[in-house]
Chain A
């Protein structure tokens, strides 16, 4: 999926960083992150209730990839696909990577992003609301947890993105 030409350079950064990484390498990394977050925040699953088996499609609009999250308490999974191979799903959350990240970081309000059309949701609305509330109750920052997986480089990139988001 080509990136829009008008997009600021920093918004292209996630796609540029991911571009040289083949899918077969991204998939285990995504799964590792998901497993780690699931273990660190087990109370998250209680808030999800019946939606631990819901298939959430996450679509960052400025990255040529989509993710399928199934937040099963025992074995939460996150699979990565090309947009052309979008898998079957129950709910969709779509927005720029930076906005999705800022929600995970606890610095953006999902309702406000929805009001100004930066966030699009589809499919099972209850499932999306449930996931949003569950993630918002996580102590600290899920975005920081993800960055930690990549060590100092991950934290540096997150710091950069946070500054951009704050501007």
Chain B
């Protein structure tokens, strides 16, 4: 005999689980794994993961949207870079294609792109990307009032108490990151890659372009990571490595004996233990980073967080399986969500 237990009444607001997809196969994987919404982008500079071999052709985007909608999953189109001066047509074309295919929302960073969407596609939801670098109620409300933004993605520099305070003062939904890259530069304002490679993270959509990354491993298996003309890290044999990004690099300085992480260490954000608190304050959406990652990553991370959110809604605990194997440098942090003193 099966006994059906009535779920306990709980104090949580069920958030939307927003998941990454860099390819159509990853998109289908995210849908199967329980994503409420999938974010993705076209194969050009209009999105901030403009990596080789990644992203969607228009035909793939159209088919992916049909597939997602058949499975009650939303597609959020990332058009979250800034057009260079006088070159907005590519961004307008991406918006128009997305609207034609029936995306559920646009994720934007640039005011001009937001303005174009508000004027030409006012019935499609507008989400403010973390790349807009808006982190105060005043800035966030400005986007809401001027462009009709319905949701803001907050930067990874806020404590849960600060997120709660912002939520009480903004006129829209709030989305926060819960897993993945832990890049804490003023997002959308970082020019480190541009300085070293001549390509812009914010306008070309590529942080540390692979075309300018070199890995050199010596006979003793020590690994050097080189971006452009600069060695940005050296890993001893067997030492866990990170992404070839300047902000995660280890540098020499006259006042230290060994190389040190000047900005941030190679590690990933994982706030699975803080999920109940985020849900309790009423965050509308939880975002998993990683459009550049494989479908194996998408399957594991999305299904883990799907189960965790559902368990919490049923009155249970997050009880999330370890995701340490998928983290950068095999290290994780709760970052500013837990404390401003995460380093």
Contacts and interface: CB of A to CB of B under 8 A. Distances in A.
Interface stretch (B12-20, B47-55, B109-117): B47-55
Contacts of B221: 117
Contacts, number: 102
A133 interface: yes
A138 B23 CA distance: 9
Given A111-B297, A114-B241, A129 B210 contact: yes
A122 B216 contact: yes
Given A125-B213, A126-B211, A112 B52 contact: no
- With most chain B CB atoms within 10 A of its CB, the pick from A49, A110, A132, A136 is A136
A107 interface: yes
Contact of B25 (A49, A110, A115, A136): A136
A133 B22 contact: yes
A106 B53 contact: no
A133 B217 contact: no
A125 B53 contact: no
Given A116-B240, A122-B216, A133-B51, A139 B296 contact: no
Interface residues of A, number: 33
Contacts of B235: 117
Interface in B183-211: 209-211
A51 B235 CA distance: 29
Given A125-B213, A136-B25, A139-B25, A111 B292 contact: yes
B216 A111 contact: no
A134 B53 CA distance: 6
A142 to B, nearest CB: 11
Interface string A86-122: 0000000000000000010011111110111100111
B53 A130 contact: yes
Contacts of A137: 23-26
A69 interface: no
A47 interface: yes
A117 B54 CA distance: 23
B289 interface: no
